[in-house]
Amino acid sequence: MRDQRGALLHQRRLRLGGSVRIDRAGHRQPEADAVIGIPRTLRQLAHDRRGATVIEFAMLAVPLIALLIGGLDLAHQSYVHSVLQGALNDAARRASVEDPQFTASGDTLEERVAATVQRQVRPVAPNATYTIRQSNYYDFSGIGNPEKLMTDINGNGQFDADDGDCWQDLNENGEYDLDTGRSGIGGANDVVFYEAQVVFKRVFPIGQFIGGSDTLEFNARTAIRNQPYDNQNVPPVLCGDGT
C-alpha cells in the first residue's frame, strides 16, 4: 500500500511540474521541495544560539576594557602620589638635622633634597618633570601669613608705613611682606615648608576611551621644624617712615 501511495504521489508531481530533469540525482529532492524547506530553515536559524556569546562579548568588550584600564590608571595615580608624599617627608626629616647626609648629587643642600625626591619617584613616574621648592619661616604661624605687626598706631589691623607702624621683619629683607617665607632650608629651629610638583604622562591610555588629558599633575606638601642644633636667629623689629 505504501509503495502504491508513493507511486501516485510521484505521478502527481510529474503532472503538476511537467517533468523532472533527467540529470537530477536520484537522492536529491526536486526544487519545489527545496523552496518549501526555506521557511523551516529560517526558523531553525532564528532559534540557533550558536555564536551568540561572541556577539554579546563584542558589545561588552569596549566598556569592560575601559573599566579595567580606568581602575589600573586610578591605582597607578594613587601609588605615584603616595610615593611622592613619602619621598618628600623622608627628605624633609633627613634635612632637618645639623649636617644632613645625602647620596644624591647637588652643590647645595636644597639641590640634594630635590635630587633625592626625584630619585625615589622616578621609577613609578618615568620621564616626569619635577618642581621642588623649599622656604623657611620663623615659626609655623608664619606659613601663608603676613609679617607680624608689633605696633599698629591707628588700630586698623594693617601695616601703615606713614603712621610709623612697626613689624617683625621675619624674612629680614627690610620690607613689610605679606609672605614671611625665606628661600631655602634655613637654620636651627626654623620651620621649613616643602612643596613638590610632578608632571608626567599617563601609563594607561584611558584618555582614548573616556577623553581628557593624557598628562597628570600631582602636588605634595609638608612642613617640619629643623632640629635645635644652634640658637635660632631672632628677626629684627623695624618701623615705618612715620617714626
Cα 195 to Cα 134: distance, rounded to the nearest angstrom: 7
> Residue 71 pairs with which residues in a beta bridge?
none
Structural domains in the chain (count): 1
* 80: pLDDT strictly greater than 60: yes
Place of cell 556577539: 55
- pLDDT tier, 96 (very low <50, low <70, confident <90, very high otherwise): very high
Cell of 104: 644624591
- pLDDT tier, 213 (very low <50, low <70, confident <90, very high otherwise): confident
* 125: pLDDT strictly greater than 90: yes
In a domain, 44, yes or no: no
* Residue 5: predicted pLDDT: 53
In a domain, 147, yes or no: yes
> Residue 224 pairs with which residues in a beta bridge?
192
The more confidently predicted of residues 40 and 195 is 195
* Residue 51: predicted pLDDT: 65
In a domain, 90, yes or no: yes
The more confidently predicted of residues 16 and 120 is 120
In a domain, 77, yes or no: yes
Task: State mean pLDDT over 115-144.
Answer: 93
In a domain, 146, yes or no: yes
* 168: pLDDT strictly greater than 60: yes
Cα 9 to Cα 135: distance, rounded to the nearest angstrom: 106
* Residue 157: predicted pLDDT: 86
In a domain, 71, yes or no: yes
Contact 237, 168 (CB under 8 A): yes
* 176: pLDDT strictly greater than 70: yes
In 3D, which of 149, 220, 219, 222 has the Cα closest to residue 185? 222
Q: What average pLDDT is seen over the chain? A: 83
Secondary structure of the chain in the HEC alphabet?
A: CHHHHHHHHHHHHHHHHCCCCCCCCCCCCCHHHHHHCHHHHHHHHHCCCCCHHHHHHHHHHHHHHHHHHHHHHHHHHHHHHHHHHHHHHHHHHHCCCCCCCCCCCCCCHHHHHHHHHHHHHCCCCCCCEEEEEEEEECCHHHCCCCCCEEECCCCCCCCCHHHCCEEECCCCCCCCCCCCCEECCCCCCCEEEEEEEEEEECCCCCHHHHCCCCEEEEEEEEEEECCCCCCCCCCCEEECCCC
Of 63-72, 125-134, 196-205, the one with minimum mean pLDDT is 63-72
* Residue 26: predicted pLDDT: 55
Q: Percentage of the chain surpassing pLDDT 90?
A: 42
* Residue 28: predicted pLDDT: 54
* Residue 11: predicted pLDDT: 55
* Residue 16: predicted pLDDT: 46
* Residue 223: predicted pLDDT: 95
Expressed as residue numbers, the domain containing 106 is 54-239
Cα 107 to Cα 113: distance, rounded to the nearest angstrom: 11
* 13: pLDDT strictly greater than 60: no
In a domain, 112, yes or no: yes
* Residue 38: predicted pLDDT: 66
